[in-house]
Structure formats: structure tokens, C-alpha cells
Chain A
Amino acid sequence: MEILLPVLYILAAAGFILAIKWMSSPATARRGVIVGELGMLLAVVGTLLRFEVVHYEWIFVAFLIGSAIGVPIAYYMPMTAVPQRTAVSHACGALASALIGTAEYFRQTPHGFVMVALALEMVLGFLTCTASLMAFGKLQEILPTRPITFTGQNYLNLGVLGLAVATGGLMIASPETVWPFPVFALLSLLFGVLLIIPIGGADMPTVIALLNSYAGLSASAMGFALDNKLLIVAGALDGSSGFILAVIMCKAMNRSFSNVLFGAFGTLQTSAVKTTDRPVRSASAEEAAEILDVARTITIIPGYGMAVAQAQHKLREMHDLLTKRGIDVKFAIHPVAGRMPGHMNVLLAEADVPYDKLIEMDDINPEFPRCDVALVVGANDVVNPAAKNDPSSAIAGMPILHAFEARTVMVVKRGMSPGFAGIENDLYYMDKTLMLFGDAKTVVGNIVKELTAVGAGR
């Protein structure tokens, strides 16, 4: 038994590594989930068999309750709620880690290295828990999605974090003193809330990824405290994964971490919006259908507006109709479109769009000059040519999809309101641009109807 248990943990760690390795391609990804599950099973069995574990009744009751909550979430949650679900699961994971840290602190009043690891585990756990709940509130639109800022905000946030770290230091210096712990926990929880208050909806992909990273690092710190290598490895994998995704998201917006966390994007610029009354050309669904019907290549650019309007199924119908007529239809996916990394891909995959039609930004951009129609559905800042042409713009330097190079541009949009960054989009005023005003699902639905009619008329 003494030899078997470490072997189970090592196999579990290997399972997690393979799981992530096989996520590199959709062809092997499902195999990855299976080895990941096996790894988790080995880890749990290996832990239950340890001699320290003697009371099983509470553990099995907790397994039952957890499964009773988890299984319905997994099967009944609509795919559109994926960002919210992710935020909630970050909160759950961080809560678990913070509570275990607390329990360990009261159980063994540890010293030195172990206490440092526990303090790290608890600060990351508590702050990620409340931050993720706040992110959930914003994604679910229970809380206002616009960033909320006030003067001195960054100083207040840093001050709270500084105090939390200081009380943590006090706990490390003298673990026997009781009073710093509740102060430490409250300050960490408070910092989590403060951290998310100034974050706006479009920055959510970065923040979700960063919270993913924190939750993983917290688990890793627990591994240090419990001297458990499996926890260290799994936590480090999760921590680096979240970190890389956050870096990718930042690059896709040409912004730095500190700018996302402390910049409160979107409020400062709103005052600078030029309210011009330049004319735009609007078109009906019928006209749009006629243009699409004679095109040879069409690129669809989805954004968060598509997710809000649930237009992905109608878009897939349109894609099918046009593809059957021999037209080349592709989807161009900007890395930060939506509310979490890869959001658009999941929604379109759910609507049965084959994944080889979902093209990344760097691969599709060279094709725009040869593209007959670029159809923008609920995206705004990611197609704003100001990012390329206007160095004074708030989004200058942000990589964009070159929709403006297409022969004809069509934009499905509810109104002329500026996007998240609060900047006007010159794309809408170009001579070759047609605006299709209305709810994305309704507009695309009407185009589908017109296309069917055009096809029948032949």
C-alpha cells in the first residue's frame, strides 16, 4: 500500500498532462477529457486509501451533494451561459482552496514555509472567490456591466491589498496570534470585490483567464503547504494555462495587464466621442439577400452582439443555404470577440457550423481584399479601422479584422451607438458599407427567408 499510493498520484499527474496535451486538436480533445477523468479518479481513490483518512461518512455525503449539483449544471446549462458557468466554477474552486487553507491553519498552527504557503493559498483563494462571483454578476447582468470608477480607486485597491499582505505577514511571523486571521480573510475577500468593480464587459476575457490562473496557483500553494506534489503539478498547469490565455487576450487588445486591471477602459473615452451626423447607407434584408446571392466569397464576423441576440443558429442556416449555392462562406474569429476566450467558436460549434469554417484572425486577414462581402454581426471595436489608421484613437494598435478591405461591407447592428470602447467606427460611414438595423437574430432570419425566395424564383 505504501508503494502503491505515490504511484496512483504520479499516474494522476501524467493523466492531467496528457489531457492538456490532447486538447491541442479537436480530433484528440475528447480522448484528453477521458484521461483527465481517469487522473482525477486515481487521485481521489489514492487519497481515500491514505491512512490519515479515517472518517468517510462526511466525505461521501459531500460527494453526493456535489454530484447532485454538478450533474444538472453540466447537462441543463445552455451553451450561451458558458462564461457565467466558468466564473462560478472559478469561485467554487477558489472557495474550496481558501477553506482548506483556513482549516489547515486552525488544525496545525503551522510555522515558517508551510505558513507562507498557507497565507498565499488563502489570499489567492479568498480574493478569487469574491472576484469570480462579481464577474459572474457582471456576465449575468445582475450587476452593471459598465466599469464603475471613482477617484482614488487604484490607491484604495492597492491599500486594501497592502493591508491584506501585511496581516498575512503578521500571521506568518506569529501564527499563534488569533486576531489577524479574520482581518486577513475579510481584506482578501474585499480586495476581490474591488478588483472587479472597474472591469467592463469587453475586458472579461482577460479577467476570466486571470482568475483561472489565480485559482490554479492557489491549489498549487496548497500543494506546498500539504507537501503534495500532485496538487503542485495540477495547480501549476492550471496557473500557467490561465496566465497564457490572459496574455493572448491582452495581446489581442494591444494592452498590458496593468492597463486591463487598473485602466478602467471605456469610461475615460466616453467623453471624447464625437457625435457626428454623417450619413450612413441602410439597406433592407431583401437587398442584402440579393447581394449575398451573387457573391462568390463571404466572410461573417461575429461578435458579442451575436451571442446576445442568439443569432448563431440563423447564421448557420444562412451559411448552409449559401454554401449549397457554391458560395464560399467563412467565419472570421477575433480572439477577444465575446466574453471569454474562444466564446464565438463554442456558440458556432453548438449551431453545427463545421469548425474548419472558423478562421483565426491572422489567417483570414490576408483574404479580405479578395472577399466579396464582409458581414459583421454584432461586432464593433474588433473591425474598427481607427485601430490601424488613427494613432490618437483609444484602441490604436489593437489588431483588428480587416473587414474594411472587403468589396462590400454589411453591418448588422441594433443602432448607431458606439461600441464598448466608446469610439466611433468609421467602417459604418464608408461608401461600400450597408447598415442592416435591427436585432441580429431577426435580421439574419429575414435574410434567410429572402434567400430562400431568391433561390425558389430561379
Chain B
Amino acid sequence: MNKYEVALWVFMLAAFLGFELIRRVSPLLHTPLMSLTNAISAIAVVGAILVTGADDASFLTRALGFIAVVASTVNVVSGYLITDRMLKMFKKRAPEEKR
């Protein structure tokens, strides 16, 4: 099995896992879910770091990688923080009765 075949298997299984997990998410939390998956897809930062930090990087590829690291860091940081800020607001009872 060559490495592309493995990659396709991984993709297929991850996509089905995603379907099964997301189907169980309550519609109540669809907005925070979207901001969480957004933060997760900022995993592109991995690719951006590899491009920016590479030894053989030219000025062009390093500049492109640099912008990509900035853009995905914005998503990582704001994505997780906003998701948490939203989730903090979801309370079961009125605030004074809570705990």
C-alpha cells in the first residue's frame, strides 16, 4: 500500500467519524461548533510553519508562509477563545441559582 492510498483511507475514515460526531451535536450549539471546527481547521498552521521555517525557503515562499502563519494563528487564538466565551454563556438556570 503506497502512502497516497493510506492517506485516502485516513481521509475516508475521518470524514465518516466526523459525520457521526457532528450529527450528535445539539442544534443549540451549532454556532460554537462552527467556531470550534474553524479553530481546528487552523491546523493549516502546521503546513505554514513547515513552509516558513524550511532551510531551502526562498524569499517568496517564506513571505507566503509568514502570512499563512499569521492568518492561521489569528484563527487558532480567536477561534478557541470565542468558542469558550460563547459556551460560558450557556447556563441551565438563571444565573443567581447557579451553584
Contacts and interface: CB of A to CB of B under 8 A. Distances in A.
Interface size bucket, B side? 35 or more
17 contacts: A20-B21, A20-B22, A43-B45, A67-B73, A82-B31, A85-B82, A93-B72, A95-B68, A103-B68, A209-B34, A215-B41, A222-B44, A224-B4, A231-B44, A234-B43, A343-B31, A346-B31
A92 B25 contact: no
B40 A36 contact: yes
B7 A95 contact: no
Identify whether the interface residues of A are mostly helix, strand, loop, or mixed. helix
Contacts of A44: 45-46, 49
Contact of A355 (B35, B64, B92): B92
A93 B47 CA distance: 12
Contact of A239 (B15, B74, B94): B15
A77 B21 CA distance: 29
Contact of B91 (A89, A232, A354): A354
Interface string A230-247: 111111111111101100
Given A23-B29, A93-B72, A237-B18, A33 B83 contact: yes
A216 interface: yes
Interface residues of A, number: 110
A100 interface: yes
Nearest to B84: A33
Interface of B: 3-4, 6-7, 10-11, 14-19, 21-58, 60-62, 64-95
A216 to B, nearest CB: 5
Contacts of A220: 11
Interface string A101-131: 0111011000001000000000000000000
A32 B17 CA distance: 16
A68 to B, nearest CB: 9
A97 interface: yes
Contact of B18 (A58, A236, A345, A360): A236
Interface in A152-176: none
Q: What are the 5 closest A-B residue pairs judged by CB atoms, nearest first?
A: A66-B73, A342-B30, A70-B77, A240-B18, A74-B81
